[in-house]
Amino acid sequence: MEQFKLETMTNVEKLAKEQIRTFRLMIIALLVVLILMILGGFMIISSNKDRIYVFDGTYGVKRVERVEDKIWYFSASYVKLLLEGNKYTFDTTVTTAFNLAETGTPAQDFIKALVNNKLYETAAAENAQFTVVVDSVRVIQAHSPYIADVFMTNDRINQYGRIRKSQIFQLTLDNTPFSEWNPFGLKVHDILLKKDEVILKMQADGTPMASE
């Protein structure tokens, strides 16, 4: 009888040890799968060539996914009028222009070209509040010449209500001599505006590009 009890206890202990061993193996396997998933995620992110900058509606960056420093600096520098605080509001009282680095382009002229002269003049005539919000910047080409698409929304608010239009413009950047304000040596070369199915290609100063 005693021997039977001992054998029974031994079998129970063996079974418990096997269960503990199985549980440990399961935990180890789960950890391995988790590590592989994390590594795989990093590999996917690091190999993602379609880098995207996502901005919030107030200040600065909400989310940045694996960006190129050169394109990021260009976004923060050359399109300062669109990205600083992510909004630029102006009406008929605006007379001062920010100059785009290294281009000498007055910001209000630049933005007038982007949002269409007629739209700008209509807003000014109505003394409307006009806001440009940059939703995201997608890097198309992360080497020279650098190309990025800027997705933005135009808001015009007046006594008749709000008019909101989305538009995309594409910037191409060339290399230019380095300077304190332009450490990466980039400058806006041309702009491709896509709005209401009308495509307009212009130079950095807002003038139309010569036909190719």
Q: Is residue 209 part of a domain?
A: no
Is the Cβ–Cβ distance between 101 and 78 less than 8 Å?
Answer: yes
- Among 100, 85, 121, 87, smallest CA distance to 191 is for 100
Residues 101 and 41 in one domain: no
Q: Is residue 168 part of a domain?
A: yes
Structural domain boundaries, residue 28: 1-47
Residue 80: how many other CB atoms lie within 10 Å: 16
Query: Which residues of the chain register pLDDT less than 50?
Result: 4, 40-123, 128-132, 177-188, 193-208, 210-212
Last residue of a domain, one of 47, 67, 84: 47
| Cα-based distances in Å from 211 to 113, 131, 173 | 18, 32, 19
pTM above 0.75, yes or no: no
The pLDDT of residue 112: 46
Residues in the chain: 212
